């Protein structure tokens, strides 16, 4: 059953889309197989493995982040790979990004290890089904969008080199979902010390992540935190993903503890400098 949070996010995402990307999104949110896999991915992640949220709210958050970043790049005149290579349109790229973002963590329904690879395999027949309903007579378009979305899913951990701007957006969009709410449930369920706790506690220190237009570059990511332990999340998780992403040249990244100095890692000075 869809939660009020998910319904609110669905409405917000639908309002950001139109045309074929919206048609694809509507199919994704109405699909019982996807809903079951997203919920089960969260069960495995949180209850079985003790990790943070990898379920329906996380996948919707990443979808929102990805749409926003792709739009910021478009407004700055940066073409997607499909546009630059003259084999597709911005709308085609957005279709692929929506598919990849909404399905990227389905592999967590199996295991954390190599979940980007298992997730891509799980998502493939779902994507084929959705794309066939969207473009029933356009085999080349279905094929290109499916391949691009597959790259986005398999590349979202930064464990495999990706080469398209579209897949690069998924990688960074995933890294930006690190606000404290994402670690809330694992923190409640257990206080027992275990290997990897630095990820949980550093995530709990992240108060807000804002994505918007940059001062000098198309995208600006600003991270507010309650304590300096949050810098681990920025430097060891988000920055690692940005460094592996083809959209790195277009990103400004700044972070700081509330009330303290702002540290800019790439792309320029703080917004109030």
**pLDDT score of 196 more than 70:** no
In tens, the pLDDT along 203-244 reads 788 999 999 999 999 999 999 999 989 999 999 989 999 999
Count other Cβ atoms within 10 Å, centred on residue 213.
Answer: 12
247-250: which pairs have CB atoms within 8 A and are 24 or more residues apart? 247/69, 247/73, 247/165, 247/168, 247/169, 247/172, 247/219, 248/168, 249/217, 250/73, 250/76, 250/78, 250/217, 250/218, 250/219
Question: How many DSSP H helices and E strands does the chain contain?
Answer: 13, 4
**pLDDT score of 59 more than 50:** yes
Nearest by Cα to 80 from 15, 143, 148: 148
The percent of residues above 90 in pLDDT, for the chain, comes to 66
Please, what are the domains in the chain? 4-175 (1.10.3210), 180-266 (3.30.300)
- Residue 79 pLDDT class (50, 70, 90 cuts): very high
C-alpha to C-alpha distance for 147 and 233, rounded to whole angstroms: 31
Alpha helices, DSSP H, located in 48-164: 56-75, 81-84, 90-103, 115-134, 139-154
């Amino acid at each position: 059953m869809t939660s009020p949070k998910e319904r609110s996010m669905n409405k917000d995402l639908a309002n950001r889309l139109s045309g074929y990307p919206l048609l694809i999104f509507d199919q994704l949110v109405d699909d019982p197989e996807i809903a079951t896999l997203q919920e089960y991915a969260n069960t495995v992640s949180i209850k079985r493995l003790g990790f943070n949220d990898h379920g329906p709210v996380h996948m919707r958050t990443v979808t929102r982040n990805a749409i926003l970043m792709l739009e910021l790049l478009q407004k700055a005149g940066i073409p997607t790979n499909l546009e630059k290579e003259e084999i597709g349109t911005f709308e085609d790229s957005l279709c692929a990004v929506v598919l990849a973002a909404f399905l990227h963590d389905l592999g967590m329904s199996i295991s954390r290890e190599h979940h980007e690879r298992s997730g891509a395999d799980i998502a493939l027949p779902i994507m084929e089904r959705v794309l066939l309903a969207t473009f029933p007579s356009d085999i080349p378009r279905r094929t290109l969008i499916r391949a691009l979305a597959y790259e986005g899913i398999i590349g979202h951990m930064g464990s495999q080199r990706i080469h398209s701007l579209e897949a690069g957006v998924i990688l960074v969009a995933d890294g930006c979902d690190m606000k404290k709410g994402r670690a809330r449930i694992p923190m409640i369920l257990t206080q027992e010390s275990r290997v990897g706790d630095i990820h949980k506690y550093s995530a709990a220190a992240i108060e807000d992540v804002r994505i918007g237009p940059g001062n000098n570059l198309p995208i600006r990511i600003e991270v507010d935190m309650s304590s300096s332990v949050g810098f681990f999340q920025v430097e060891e998780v988000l920055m690692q993903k940005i460094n592996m992403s083809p959209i790195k040249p277009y990103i400004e990244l700044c972070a700081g503890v509330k009330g303290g100095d702002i540290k800019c890692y790439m792309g320029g000075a703080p917004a109030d400098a």
